């Protein structure tokens, strides 16, 4: 059972813990809900530092700020390919050193102690002797670089699409209703079965109504009927 002094010491230690301070640490803690798939120990081979991979992971997460599992997976791919690229560059340097060492091992004792022979174009001889390993290594470097660039393009397009606001489709309805103005009288179109003279007569009566002067012929039957009625009343 802890003593009172131990409990007080634990409380003091807890107060000293203020969380991450560096930008890399803050970036990693801000993404606690999204766990990166990069495991330092599973990606490390002898001669590599796990802390260096952890720092690289924090830098990528801070820079790209992935949202959602898809973006996080793409960022993990970028981290992995970048880490492999650094490893391949070290392999290339060690391949050069190894090839030079092999040249020294193929020399005789007299050639080895002869400085003019020992240092006569060592890199050219090393490349000639290890041409196939260098070619296979370069293909691996090129393939990893292509993977990095393709993944980066997909991630940038995905983040650009997420930040672009969705525009509403244009409405098919007209902005203003197609209603005739007030006072507009559409022209009367005669039906196919109506004779042409009937339409002509309608136009004459329309013009007479607007002018107030009606044709005499149109009212001649009315005048004759009124005259006959008047004669019957007066007996004339």
DSSP state string for 210-233: HHT---HHHHHHHHHHHHHHHHHH
DSSP 3-state of 65: coil
The confidence score (pLDDT) of residue 100 equals: 82
CA torsion angle for 55, 61, 64, 66 (degrees, to 10)?
170
- Give the tokens for residue 87: 């490893």
* Residue 34 in this model has a pLDDT that exceeds 50: yes
Mean pLDDT estimate for the chain? 76
The confidence score (pLDDT) of residue 177 equals: 57
* Residue 15 in this model has a pLDDT that exceeds 80: no
Band the pLDDT of 198: cuts 50, 70, 90: very low
Q: How many CB atoms lie within 10 A of CB 140?
A: 15
Span 7-30, mean pLDDT?
A: 64
Least confident of 76-80, 86-90, 94-98: 94-98
- Give the tokens for residue 123: 């890199």
**Terminal CA-to-CA distance of the chain, rounded, Å?**
145
- Tell me which range, 117-121, 153-157, 204-208, is most confidently predicted by mean pLDDT: 153-157
* CA distance linking residue 9 with residue 16, whole number of Å: 11
Dihedral sign (CA 135, 138, 144, 147): negative
User: 19 vs 32, 34, 134, 213, CA distance in Å?
Assistant: 13, 18, 47, 101
* Residue 78 in this model has a pLDDT that exceeds 90: yes
Smallest CA-to-CA distance from 40 within 28, 31, 52, 29 is with: 52
- Tell me which range, 21-25, 30-34, 104-108, 111-115, is most confidently predicted by mean pLDDT: 104-108
* CA distance linking residue 190 with residue 199, whole number of Å: 6
The confidence score (pLDDT) of residue 102 equals: 82
The confidence score (pLDDT) of residue 83 equals: 95
* CA distance linking residue 95 with residue 85, whole number of Å: 15
Band the pLDDT of 145: cuts 50, 70, 90: very high
* CA distance linking residue 134 with residue 128, whole number of Å: 10
Angle at 211 between CA 207 and CA 215, to 5 degrees: 70
Query: In terms of pLDDT, which residue wins out, 5 or 59?
Result: 59
Smallest CA-to-CA distance from 143 within 201, 96, 186, 85 is with: 85
Smallest CA-to-CA distance from 132 within 154, 157, 99, 110 is with: 99
The pTM for the full model equals 0.53
* Residue 49 in this model has a pLDDT that exceeds 80: yes
């Amino acid at each position: 059972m802890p003593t009172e002094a131990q409990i007080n010491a634990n409380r003091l230690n807890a107060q000293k813990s203020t969380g991450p301070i560096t930008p890399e640490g803050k970036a990693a803690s801000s993404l606690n809900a999204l766990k990166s798939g990069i495991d330092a120990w599973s990606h490390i081979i002898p001669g590599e530092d796990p802390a260096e991979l952890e720092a690289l992971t924090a830098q990528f997460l801070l820079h790209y700020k992935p949202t959602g599992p898809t973006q996080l997976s793409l960022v993990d791919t970028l981290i992995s390919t970048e880490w492999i690229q650094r490893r391949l560059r070290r392999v290339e340097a060690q391949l050069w050193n190894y090839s030079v060492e092999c040249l020294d091992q193929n020399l005789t004792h007299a050639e080895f102690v002869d400085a003019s022979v020992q240092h006569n174009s060592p890199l050219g001889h090393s490349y000639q002797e290890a041409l196939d390993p260098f070619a296979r290594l370069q293909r691996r470097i090129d393939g990893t670089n292509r993977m990095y660039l393709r993944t980066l393009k997909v991630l940038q397009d995905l983040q650009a699409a997420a930040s672009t606001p969705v525009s509403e489709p244009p409405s098919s309805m007209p902005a203003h209703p197609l209603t005739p103005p007030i006072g507009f009288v559409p022209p009367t179109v005669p039906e196919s079965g109506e004779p042409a003279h009937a339409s002509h007569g309608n136009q004459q009566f329309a013009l007479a109504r607007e002018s107030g002067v009606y044709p005499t012929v149109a009212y001649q039957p009315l005048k004759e009927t009124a005259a006959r009625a008047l004669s019957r009343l007066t007996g004339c």
